[in-house]
């Protein structure tokens, strides 16, 4: 049994605890949070015996094989590096760090260590997405020329998620002083991974981030200065171009991811609000212009249903068992962090930036 410790027992930690508790080869044996009430509530719910208020104390527990880091972004670097130094396999929530420099330090800490490392780009869990990536990488749609990817949330225009004007859990996300990197840092990190994994490395980008002052300057202690929305143009090393966008003003959408990729032999697309219930399929169409008859209709899309595939949690446990790292790893997390840093740079200077 692989023995897991959870550091940071907030909302996303519940998902980690369920996944690792329900896996036949892992168990959750310890947890840590600086908030005692939250720690106890969480440990009681998931029947976790060993409880700590400090990660240093937790890491003295030699029974622990792996740490899952579910603390807020600002603590990802410090806690992950501490765990790595104590030779624990490490699963870290996204974004890997707050910037590329810190993400690189996390990768450097892994050098010379034989440790499994993973960053939770959770939309990789969609089996439809996994199969779409395989199809694009296999060359079935040919050379990729064009793509577009969007991540649409609506919590600034709907009450579906709660009331952002009153609830701290939303307000901090609008304030840089409270550690938010805005829409780009929160969901841009997902959509850049989602958009680029099937196609390849980005060569350059031009991004525009916007904070809408009309929603107000300040609520309680929160200065509302983090970006609410962004658009970007990208070019890949293989020559493909496209757009990657995200917003919290997408009225009518709960949590929508969309990706379309067009090649010279075909195209694929996927879209879902809920990766679990809707992410098990994608659409494919092929270029029929070169077919002899020339009559085949190439405007029809075929729905491809996909078998359930491994989640990041399952991949992490499998990787530990096989002593062979899997994707998305810390190096991928750092690569995406670099893209985000370049978006801020591009938006500030109003220019294309090389990656
Ligand atoms: N992969 C995804 O789709 C996804 C979804 C939501 C959140 N996240 C990420 O998960 C992380 C946590 O988000 P959340 O919504 O669960 O936050 P949260 O505020 O609900 O929980 C964070 C917990 O960490 C604790 N904490 C803070 N500093 C600590 C420290 N030094 N040591 C131990 N515990 C500490 C807090 O007391 C809190 O209980 C964030 O980085 C967020 O970006 C990822």
At 276 the pLDDT is 83
**CATH 3.30.360.10: does it fit domain 124-309+336-354?**
yes
Question: Along the chain (355 residues), what's the average pLDDT of each consecutive run of 10 residues?
Answer: 97 97 98 97 98 98 98 94 98 96 98 97 96 98 97 93 90 91 96 98 98 93 96 98 97 96 96 92 83 60 95 98 97 98 98 98
- Residue 65 has phi, psi (to 5 degrees) of -95, -35
Rounded to an integer, what distance in angstroms lies between the CA atom of residue 54 and that of residue 312?
Answer: 26
Q: Does domain 2-115 have CATH number 3.40.50.10320?
A: no
Nearest to 202 by CA among 213, 191, 218, 215: 191
Sorted by where each begins, the domain ranges of the chain are 2-115, 124-309+336-354
Q: Which of 59, 72, 118, when mutated, tests ligand 1's pocket best, judged by the most ligand atoms within 8 Å of its CB?
A: 72
Report the candidate in 195, 265, 276 with the shortest Cα–Cα distance to residue 230. Answer: 195
SS3 content of the chain, % helix, strand, coil (to 5): 35, 25, 35
pLDDT at 296: 59
Is residue 193 classed as helix, strand or coil in its secondary structure?
Answer: helix
User: Which of 313, 309, 310, 311 lies closest to 89 in space, CA to CA?
Assistant: 313
Edge to edge, what strands does the sheet with 117-120 contain?
A: 50-52, 26-32, 2-7, 66-69, 89-93, 117-120
For ligand 1, is residue 11 a contact (CB within 6 Å)?
A: yes
Report the pLDDT value the prediction gives residue 116, as an integer from 0 to 100.
98
Q: Is the CB of 38 under 6 A from ligand 1?
A: yes
What pLDDT was estimated at residue 291? Answer: 53
β pairing state of 222-223 and 218-219: antiparallel
∠ CA 251-255-258, rounded to 5°: 95
Q: Is 97 in the pocket of ligand 1 (CB under 6 A)?
A: no
């Amino acid at each position: 049994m692989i023995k897991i410790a959870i550091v940071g027992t907030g909302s996303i930690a519940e998902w980690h605890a369920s996944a690792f508790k329900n896996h036949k080869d892992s168990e959750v044996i310890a947890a840590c949070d600086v908030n005692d009430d939250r720690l106890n509530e969480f440990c009681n719910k998931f029947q976790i015996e060993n409880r700590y208020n400090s990660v240093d104390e937790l890491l003295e527990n030699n029974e622990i094989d792996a740490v899952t880091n579910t603390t807020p972004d600002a603590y990802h670097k410090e806690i992950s590096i501490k765990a790595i130094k104590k030779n624990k396999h490490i699963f870290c929530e996204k974004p890997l760090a707050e910037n590329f420099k810190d993400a690189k330090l996390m990768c450097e800490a892994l050098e010379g260590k034989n440790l499994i490392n993973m960053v939770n780009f959770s939309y990789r869990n969609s089996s439809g997405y996994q199969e779409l990536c395989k199809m694009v990488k296999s060359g079935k749609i040919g050379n990729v020329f064009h793509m577009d990817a969007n991540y649409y949330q609506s919590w600034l225009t709907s009450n579906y998620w709660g009331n952002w004007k009153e609830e701290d859990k939303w307000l901090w996300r609008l304030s840089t002083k409270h550690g938010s990197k805005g829409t780009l840092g929160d969901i841009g990190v997902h959509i850049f991974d989602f958009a680029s994994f099937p196609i390849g490395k980005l060569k350059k980008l031009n991004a525009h981030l916007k904070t809408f002052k009309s929603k107000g300057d300040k609520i309680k202690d929160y200065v509302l200065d983090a970006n609410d929305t962004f658009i970007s143009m990208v070019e890949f090393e293989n020559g493909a171009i496209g757009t990657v966008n995200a917003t919290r003003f997408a009225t009518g959408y709960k949590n929508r991811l969309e990706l379309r990729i067009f090649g010279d032999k075909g195209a694929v697309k996927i879209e879902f609000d809920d990766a679990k219930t809707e992410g098990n399929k994608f659409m494919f169409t092929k270029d029929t212009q070169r077919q002899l008859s020339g009559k085949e209709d190439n405007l029809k899309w075929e729905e491809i249903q996909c078998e359930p595939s491994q989640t990041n949690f399952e991949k992490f446990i499998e990787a530990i068992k096989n002593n062979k790292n899997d994707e998305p790893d810390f190096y991928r997390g750092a690569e995406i962090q670099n893209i985000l840093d370049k978006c801020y740079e591009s938006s500030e200077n109003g220019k294309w930036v090389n990656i």
